[in-house]
């Protein structure tokens, strides 16, 4: 459903302002490639925070 809405939005943008739509079509893969390292950093930070949480709650789990 999200892909369909994106396609319809792009078609509307193409009708209203075709240079901007073509620019978005060309720049989208570049933006996607630049966001990959940020996603990896987010996953790593989430894993570190989960490890810290499990270490902090370990005594409570041992007693409970």
Domain boundaries, position 51: 2-63
Cα separation, 25 vs 20, in Å, equals: 9
* pLDDT value for 59: 87
DSSP designation for 3: H
* pLDDT value for 60: 84
Region label for 17, one of left (φ > 0), alpha (ψ between -120 and 50) or beta (otherwise): beta
Q: How many domains does the chain have?
A: 1
Q: Which two tokens stand for residue 12?
A: 């509307």
Are the CB atoms for 13 and 24 separated by under 8 Å? yes
* pLDDT value for 61: 84
pLDDT digits (tens, 9 = 90+) for 9-62: 989 989 999 899 899 889 999 999 999 999 999 999 999 999 999 999 998 888
* pLDDT value for 30: 94
Local structure of 1: helix, strand or coil: coil
């Amino acid at each position: 459903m999200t892909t369909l809405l994106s396609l319809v939005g792009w078609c509307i943008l193409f009708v209203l302002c075709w240079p901007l739509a073509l620019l978005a079509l060309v720049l989208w893969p570049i933006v996607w490639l630049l966001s990959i390292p940020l996603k990896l950093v987010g996953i790593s930070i989430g894993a570190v925070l989960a490890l810290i949480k499990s270490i902090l709650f370990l005594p409570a789990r041992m007693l409970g």
